[in-house]
Structure 1
Amino acid sequence: MLDWDDLRFFLTLARHGTLSAAAKVLHVSQSTVGRRLNSLETALAVRLLNRTPDGYVLTLAGEEVRRKAEHLEAEALALERDVTGRDTRLRGLVRVTCAETLAAHILAPSFAKLHASHPDIMIELIPNPRELSLAMREADIALRMRQPEQHDLVVRRIGNIAFGIYATPDYLRDQGALDFEAGCAGHHLITQLDDTQEMTQSAWLTDLASRATVVLQTSSHEAAALAAASGGGLACLACFRGDGEPRLTRVPAPTAPPSADILLLVHRDNRDTPRIRVVLTHITDTIHELAAILQPGDGVGSDARAAG
């Protein structure tokens, strides 16, 4: 008899391609993912995934099993959402996913207030640059800075994030004045990888400082902020993060960096579940209350921090 959990682990590994990525999504060890795959392949007496230098790739048999397993998964998730939607209790787990810096500096501090009002609601906060699937119940609520590709989602714009160029005063003194007309030759850039939500702002910075050298790329906004704060170079950061870092100063630029909308996402089948509705409202209120910090004025350095 097939074990549904084995199929679930197989699907996650097939979607994400590596044991480490699948283990992170499933909140288990890599060895557990490998053991579940071996269990399923043994039960079916067929190889489902081939391991390559670039990750796991489906075999022909794996493609067929994946198609049928995804059908079973869709039915199970639809049933789960239907049952969950009838739960009228203000208690239980709500999974929230967003970018790392939003999680650490905006949402995590706010959840103490939520817990005081609703002590039986438990939040699982999942900082992840990858877009977790709400349809597959990897999360219940998502905050994102670009439009989703998933269907069956309710999307609401609840705020906006301003960005700026940041560096340490020592870096600016040692590397010399920023000459944007000359492409900032001789300067160092810290940028985001192309698959992250802040890639639009990184592309703007690399175009503006076209003769500067990219010395660090990262999928973590927080890593970029800390690298800049350690004197590593120029970074385009969310103003609420850059202005709040005492080691950084905001640098005037000839044009404003592109801002980013804050989008609140929930699966349409879950939006009226009471505990999820409470968390949606709390997140919306939090973002509205912090609007002046998320979208500060055009001041530079300590003046910008005072405004925030």
Structure 2
Amino acid sequence: MQNLNWDDLRYVIVLSRSGRLAKAARQLRVDETTIARRVARVEHALGSRLFERSNGQLLLTEIGREILRHAEQIEIGVCGIKTVATGVDDRAAGSVRLTAAALVMNRILTPGLPGLLQLHPQLQLHMMADPRNVSISNREADIALRFERPEQNYRVLAHRLCELPYGVFASAGSQSQKLPWVAYEESLCRLPLARWLADAVKQEPDLPPALVVNDSDVALHAVRAGLGRSLMPFCVGDNDDGLARLSGPEPVLMRELWLLVHSDIKHLARIRVVIEWIESVFAELGVRCKERAKRLK
């Protein structure tokens, strides 16, 4: 077996997380040929194929997943060496990949970004509003916010961030209870808000849904446009001048929001800073939601 070069393994790690040569090339600021050459060099040194193509994506083979696990340990070690040598970790510098639902990303987190980046100008946040569950254990993202309690995984740490109260909202210009519902696709029936809306639709058989969507942010835009009523978190709907709450001060639904982070990187300053910022954003929203609820009573 030929000697392995850590720098070549870095290309394997990035390609495994992106799944595409073009995306990996952009991240590493090289051309696609360089990515392919470096990965081929690792495969040749190991005598094993690490990737296979499926539906336009490059996915790790079984041995590739094992190699990745060890390569990520080397990556953590290299980062630790850099931290000791430069102290850069104390300055919360570098990139952090954060994934969450589009509604959470656009309506809750993004408004608070200026303060975070002003305090930590060397921090670069990659925000991925991805409808699929981007994998933390496979290091597709560093931090994830999920509306479902995650399955136990020794490589992933999870804690409940908060419970979000939901109410029925409509456009601020139309507060009629007879508005049609903006509902969710049947494929999302496992989600509590989709089930709640499906039950609400059944209770009004003479009023079919005006629109069926697969994303909460799309539902929000539809409601703001006056197309119907739907469920929204208090902290989103009550802070949007284009929306009005139709339900009372008590939530019609509560949803848990979980924060996930890979156990190997939880100690890094840039990760800690982003987690603390997320927690502060939701803590502040909780205060505002409680104040709003008191005014409505």
| Inter-CA distance 83–11: structure 2 relative to 1 (3 Å threshold) | closer
Paired AA for residue 122 in structure 2: D
| Inter-CA distance 198–206: structure 2 relative to 1 (3 Å threshold) | same
Q: What is the deviation of 1:8?
A: 6.9
Contact 1:84–1:273 (CA under 8 A) maintained in structure 2: no
Indicate yes or no: 2:122 matched with 1:96: no
Aligned to 1:113: 115
Aligned to 2:5: none
| Inter-CA distance 139–126: structure 2 relative to 1 (3 Å threshold) | same
1:77 to 62, 68, 72: 72
Which secondary structure state, in structure 2, belongs to the residue aligned with residue 259 of structure 1? strand
2:253 to 251, 258, 264: 258
| Inter-CA distance 195–142: structure 2 relative to 1 (3 Å threshold) | farther
Contact 1:157–1:264 (CA under 8 A) maintained in structure 2: yes
2:165 to 162, 166, 178: 162
Q: Distance in 1 between matches of 2:15 and 2:119?
A: 36
1:207 to 175, 185, 199: 199
Q: Distance in 2 between matches of 1:221 and 1:296?
A: 24
Contact 1:171–1:233 (CA under 8 A) maintained in structure 2: no
Q: What is the deviation of 1:234?
A: 1.9
Paired AA for residue 106 in structure 1: I
Contact 1:189–1:216 (CA under 8 A) maintained in structure 2: yes
Which secondary structure state, in structure 1, belongs to the residue aligned with residue 61 of structure 2? helix
Q: Distance in 2 between matches of 1:116 and 1:97?
A: 21
Which secondary structure state, in structure 1, belongs to the residue aligned with residue 217 of structure 2? helix
TM-score calculated relative to the size of structure 2: 0.71
What are the within-5 Å matches in structure 2 for residues 271-286 of structure 1?
A: 271-286=266-281
TM-score calculated relative to the size of structure 1: 0.69
Contact 2:94–2:270 (CA under 8 A) maintained in structure 1: yes
2:136 to 131, 134, 137: 134
Which secondary structure state, in structure 1, belongs to the residue aligned with residue 253 of structure 2? coil
Paired AA for residue 114 in structure 2: A
Deviates more, 1:227-236 or 1:203-212: 203-212
What are the within-5 Å matches in structure 2 for residues 28-67 of structure 1?
A: 66-67=61-62
Q: What RMSD in Å do the two structures reach over aligned CA positions?
A: 4.1
Aligned to 2:86: none
Summarize deviations over 1:28-68 as a string: whole Å, max 9, x none.
9xxx7xx97xx98xx999x9557xxxx5799xxx9xx7212
2:145 to 129, 143, 147: 143
| Inter-CA distance 83–48: structure 2 relative to 1 (3 Å threshold) | closer
Q: Distance in 1 between matches of 2:227 and 2:24?
A: 31
Q: Distance in 1 between matches of 2:187 and 2:15?
A: 24
Which secondary structure state, in structure 2, belongs to the residue aligned with residue 209 of structure 1? helix
Q: Distance in 2 between matches of 1:135 and 1:258?
A: 30
Q: What is the deviation of 1:135?
A: 2.1
Give unpaired runs (5+ residues) of structure 2.
3-7, 84-88
Q: Distance in 1 between matches of 2:106 and 2:271?
A: 20
Q: Distance in 2 between matches of 1:107 and 1:234?
A: 24
Q: Distance in 2 between matches of 1:133 and 1:145?
A: 14
Q: Distance in 1 between matches of 2:279 and 2:13?
A: 36
Q: Distance in 1 between matches of 2:246 and 2:120?
A: 42
Deviates more, 1:120-129 or 1:290-299: 290-299
| Inter-CA distance 120–56: structure 2 relative to 1 (3 Å threshold) | closer
Contact 2:235–2:285 (CA under 8 A) maintained in structure 1: no
Q: Distance in 2 between matches of 1:284 and 1:113?
A: 14
| Inter-CA distance 289–192: structure 2 relative to 1 (3 Å threshold) | same
Aligned to 1:292: 287
Paired AA for residue 280 in structure 2: D
Summarize deviations over 1:59-114 as a string: whole Å, max 9, x none.
xxx9xx72122222222223223433553342111111111122122222222212
